[in-house]
Amino acid sequence: MRKPFYWKARQGWYVKTGDGSQVFLSAEEEEAYDIWKEMRAADGLGSAAVPFALIADSYIEHAKRALAPKTFRGHQDFLVSACASFGAVRVADLKRHHLTTWLDDNPTWKSDWSRRAAVAAVKRALNWAIDEGYLKVSPLAKVEFPKGGRREVLISDDDHRRMVLAEDGGRQPGARVGELGRKPIRRDLCFRPVLIALRHSGTRPGMVAAVTVDNVSSHLDAWVFKDHKTRKKTGKPLIVRLSPCLQTLTRIAMASRKSGPLFRNSKGQPWKSDAIQRRIAKLQKKLGLPPGTVAYAYRHTWTTSAIVNGVDIATVATMLGHKDLRMLMEHYAHLEQQPEHLKEAAAKAVRRSG
């Protein structure tokens, strides 16, 4: 392992490992050399005496090849931030307080969801090192942070209709084009198909944004994605079966374009997942919709509706692209928000067959 070198652009001391990775050691030269000496004595990664930054950087190199781009970026952002906070700390010396201090120094991570995701990225890097044989145990294996509560609500038929009306210029008896009641609403018919696709497909907002003409099946009854979030777990393409309404919407979109994204904004550019999220956030605020009305809530709404309407959970899980039922039952099926369905199920559970 070569001696540490100063990287002026990043204002820190780094070392180059055998695989070419450049690992941050410290902002101070003396401390960097002390860490480097420990690393040499520990023979590279294979010891808990190495600084966390070495494990994190090596995992990032692995994650770049192994994870979906969006997932990788999330892990990378968290780990780069963690290294800036406690990257020079030896793995063997890592304690819960290192995580707590790091999280508290990042006030933007206020929710349990974001704090849990940050900790998960750190723990995943350490677990990867164990799987690779670099470490024997993780010093943070028993560290747990509160589980995030469900952020989404179910989007009612009425709230969905209000959002579609708002994007249709809000035409109502006695209302001028561009108004919903008396409040002016920007007229943009290009977002209506996105709302309908979210409502009828049950797929992730990112997939609605990503669907292209090439993803549409020959019979125009499905969207087929070879690359998707759970491909490595399921080993199969994601097939989004289209409802009659969504089949019609797809045919209309296909008629006006021969290639490229199916859904586009008023400038002819493809919708992006972040733009969809922001647009619905604006609608939620403008129309006074319940907190938690976000783009992803459509997926939860579709799932719960499918189960309430009698679609068996194994079929629902398959249609969502999940390998098993655990994710569906833990995160997607909001049956507690369907009291009438549960009341009917309670009666059905004790109903005599004869």
CATH of the domain at 310: 1.10.443.10
C-alpha–C-alpha distance, residues 118 and 196, integer Å: 33
184, 291: one domain: yes
Identify whether 144 is part of a domain.
no
Do 81 and 102 contact (CB within 8 A), yes or no?
yes
Site of tokens 């995701």: 117
Identify whether 350 is part of a domain.
no
176, 295: one domain: yes
C-alpha–C-alpha distance, residues 333 and 303, integer Å: 6
C-alpha–C-alpha distance, residues 126 and 138, integer Å: 6
87, 225: one domain: no
**pLDDT tens-digit map of 307-343:** 888 887 788 787 887 766 665 555 555 555 666 755 6
**pLDDT tens-digit map of 53-86:** 888 988 998 888 888 777 888 899 999 999 989 9
In this prediction, residue 183 carries a pLDDT of 44
183, 284: one domain: yes
* Structure tokens, 164: 């579609």
Q: Show Cβ contacts of residue 170 under 8 Å, excluding neighbours closer than 6 positions.
A: 178, 179, 180, 181, 185
When divided into structural domains, the chain yields a total of: 2
Site of tokens 């040499």: 40
Do 28 and 13 contact (CB within 8 A), yes or no?
yes
C-alpha–C-alpha distance, residues 154 and 339, integer Å: 13
> In degrees rounded to 5, what are phi and psi of residue 27?
-85, -15
Final residue before a domain boundary, out of 115, 131, 147: 131
Final residue before a domain boundary, out of 97, 131, 165: 131
Global pTM? 0.60
Scored b (16 or more CB within 10 A) or e, 328-343 reads beeebbbeeebeeeee
C-alpha–C-alpha distance, residues 134 and 44, integer Å: 9
161, 288: one domain: yes
In this prediction, residue 168 carries a pLDDT of 61
Q: How far is CA 321 from CA 155, 240, 296, 314, 352, in A?
A: 21, 9, 15, 11, 36
117, 161: one domain: no
Show the low-confidence residues of the chain (pLDDT under 50): 44-45, 170-187, 350, 354
* Structure tokens, 26: 């410290």
Identify whether 346 is part of a domain.
no
In this prediction, residue 184 carries a pLDDT of 41
Q: Which of 309, 317, 296 is nearest to 335 (CA)?
A: 309
For 290, the domain range is 157-340
In this prediction, residue 115 carries a pLDDT of 86
Q: Which of 101, 118, 252 is nearest to 190 (CA)?
A: 252
- 16 pairs with which residues across the strands? 22
* Structure tokens, 59: 């995992």
Identify whether 354 is part of a domain.
no
Name the burial class of residue 49, with classes exposed (0-12), middle (13-18) and buried (19+) by CB atoms within 10 angstroms of its CB.
middle
Dihedral of the alpha carbons of 187, 190, 194, 195, in degrees to the nearest 10: 20
In this prediction, residue 199 carries a pLDDT of 93
333, 280: one domain: yes
